[in-house]
Amino acid sequence: MQAFSVEKGIVIPLDRPNVDTDAIIPKQFLKSIQRSGFGPNLFDEWRYHDLGEPGKSCEGRPLNEDFVLNQTRYQGGTVLLARENFGCGSSREHAVWALDDFGIRVVIAPSFADIFFSNTSKNGILAIKLDETTVDNLFDQVTAHTGYELTVDLENQQITCPNGDILDFEIDPFKKHCLLNGLDDIGLTLQHKTAIETYEQRRQQEAPWLFT
């Protein structure tokens, strides 16, 4: 997966609590197990006025102009600002895939659903928990200033605001290590590739009947 170091990006404010994974990527898109291609259908039922279907092009679909992803001032944003309990509902990893495919690198919220929170770091997205007062202030700043950007530095665990204010955040050291080095579960396993191959070769000699 893509390593994470520093991300400077426009903030997209999604001012809704308890956003569940079916809202992030509706159930009809779960047929695919590929990690790519979900970006155009991110928040599909809020983003468009018609029903999206797998394999259906989103070009020309009627847009909900009131939805934040469709507003010109937030185009190209890579930092999603959300409310409490973001990512609740079913445990579908597709929700994180959709955010990643759209280009979201950071999600900031007061709280996250546990499984969604775990899935973010395994797919290269940095999920940051900040207290509600700080999140409230960020929402105020984002809506008041067009093109509002944050710089997120994972190594130093700091968020730098346009006015120079610095917000510190906490992260599990293991998750931080994986994000900084671009290691998902497969990548972590492949770090031991030599030892695994040595073991397999030895087992083939010790119990050849298992390999016939």
- CATH 3.20.19.10 placement within the chain: 12-149
Mean pLDDT, rounded, for 33-62: 93
Q: Show the tokens assigned to 209.
A: 């009947």
Which has more confidence, 75 or 183?
75
Residue 196 has pLDDT above 90, yes or no: no
Which burial class, exposed, middle or buried, applies to 197 when counting CB atoms under 10 A from its CB (0-12, 13-18, 19+)? exposed
Q: What is the pLDDT of residues 57-106, one digit of tens each?
A: 999 999 999 999 999 999 999 999 999 999 999 989 999 999 999 999 99
Q: Domain 12-149 adopts which CATH fold? A: Aconitase; domain 4 (3.20.19)
The confidence score (pLDDT) of residue 9 equals 98
- pTM here is 0.90
- The size of the chain, in residues, is 212
Residue 187, pLDDT > 80, answer no
Q: Give 197's contacts (C-beta < 8 A, 6+ positions apart).
A: none
The residues, any chain, with a CB within 8 Å of residue 66's CB and separated by 6 or more, are: none
Residue 27 CA: distances (Å) to CA of 41, 56, 89, 205, 208: 11, 15, 12, 48, 45
**pLDDT, greater one: 119 or 185:** 119
- The answer, yes or no, to whether residue 192 has pLDDT greater than 80, is no
Average pLDDT over residues 30-38: 85
